[in-house]
């Protein structure tokens, strides 16, 4: 059970009213949209209750930050629905020592959620202004173990590979082999696959010594993973 406020007779510095309202909305979001739909990992639920999603959405839409839907973040892109973020994070089974690669930084919110659950997060975004804004927001909010790079997710992040886990938040037609190659044996990847809207499936891959184990876990709708420009 998550609660706010304690029984301190005189809290030294009470949170500003707006922050308190956001924190309450966040607890409601976790209970009604996430736990109620079957995400049970306590560390993931705590991370979702902690990360200020309203800091990652456009200022004019902060009042919708804890609602059950994605929101536009500019450049034709969106911040995913909170439930999907929680579901994908839980599917990765993040551990405190893990190094994780994210493809599709977007707002930086998913990276912030992962930040508290693992040792290091590397996140790639193909739209440079989005990468720059997410980097600035993550820095401002103190997510010091997240590294953001503007670049093409199809190439992965070879210097930091191999990763314990990879999370892809845009949809390619097929699982990119480069990313499979950058996953440790024993590692997990969660990735939406399929171009046609409405016909995408979220896959959980596990890299075993004998090969890749693939499990379809949820029908989803993500923006396409666009091919990078040949350099
Ligand atoms: N995880 C984000 C939401 C992702 S939206 C969040 O928490 O807000 C998907 C993002 O993937 C978009 O920002 C899009 O620009 C990016 N993207 C699409 N194709 C890509 C590619 N080839 N490499 C890296 N990022 C890509």
Ligand 1 centroid vs 42 CA: distance in angstroms?
27
Ligand 1 atom with the shortest distance to the CA of 134 = 8
pLDDT in tens, 109-151: 999 999 999 999 999 999 999 999 999 999 999 999 999 999 9
54: tokens are 């309203």
Tokens of 184: 């440790």
Residue span of the structural domain in which 110 resides: 69-220
Residue 34 lies in a domain: no
Evaluate whether residue 166 is within a structural domain. Answer: yes
Confidence of residue 195 (pLDDT cuts 50, 70, 90): confident
pLDDT digits (tens, 9 = 90+) for 13-56: 667 778 899 999 999 999 999 999 999 999 999 999 999 999 99
In this predicted structure, the answer to whether residue 11 has a pLDDT above a threshold of 70 is no
Residue 7 resides in a domain:
no
26 is a domain residue: no
Helix axes 42-50, 82-91, angle to 10 degrees: 140
Q: What percent of the chain has pLDDT over 90?
A: 87
DSSP result, 101-149: EEE--TTSHHHHHHHTTSSEEEEEESSHHHHHHHHHHHHHTT-TTEEEE
Q: Which residues line ligand 1 (CB under 6 A)?
A: 77-80, 103-104, 106-107, 109-110, 124-127, 130, 152-154, 169-170, 223, 225-226, 228
Q: What is the mean pLDDT of the chain?
A: 93
Q: Which atom of ligand 1 is nearest to the CA of 104?
A: 11
**Is residue 198 in a domain?**
yes
Q: What strands, in cross-sheet order, belong to the sheet with 211-220? A: 146-150, 120-125, 99-103, 163-168, 183-193, 200-208, 211-220
Q: Residue 80 catalytic?
A: yes
Angle 17-29/42-50 helices, nearest 10 degrees?
A: 150
Residue 6 domain flag: no
Whole-number Å distance between alpha carbons of 136 and 69: 24
**Residue 62 within any structural domain of the chain:** no
Q: Is residue 202 part of a domain?
A: yes
Does the pLDDT of residue 10 top 80, yes or no? Answer: no
CATH number assigned to the domain comprising residue 104: 3.40.50.150
The DSSP symbol for 80 reads: P
Count of domains in the chain? 1
């Amino acid at each position: 059970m998550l609660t706010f406020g304690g029984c301190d007779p005189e809290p030294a510095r009470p949170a500003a009213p707006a922050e308190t309202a956001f924190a309450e909305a966040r607890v409601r979001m976790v209970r009604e949209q996430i736990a109620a739909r079957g995400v049970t990992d306590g560390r993931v639920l705590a991370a979702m209750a902690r990360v200020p999603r309203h800091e990652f959405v456009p200022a004019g839409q902060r009042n919708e930050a804890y609602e059950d839907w994605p929101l536009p973040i500019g450049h034709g892109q969106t911040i995913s629905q909170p439930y999907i973020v929680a579901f994908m994070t839980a599917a990765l089974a993040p551990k405190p020592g893990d190094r994780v690669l994210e493809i599709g930084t977007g707002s930086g919110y998913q990276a912030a959620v992962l930040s508290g659950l693992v040792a290091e997060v590397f996140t790639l975004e193909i739209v440079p202004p989005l990468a720059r804004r997410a980097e600035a927001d993550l820095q401002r909010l103190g997510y010091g173990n997240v590294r953001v790079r503007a670049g093409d997710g199809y190439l992965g992040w070879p210097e930091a590979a191999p990763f314990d886990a990879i999370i892809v938040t845009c949809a390619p037609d097929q699982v990119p082999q480069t990313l499979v190659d950058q996953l440790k044996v024993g590692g997990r990847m969660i990735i939406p696959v399929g171009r046609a809207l409405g016909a995408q499936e979220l896959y959980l891959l596990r890299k075993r010594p004998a090969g890749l184990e693939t499990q379809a876990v949820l029908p989803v709708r993500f923006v396409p993973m666009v091919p990078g420009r040949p350099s």
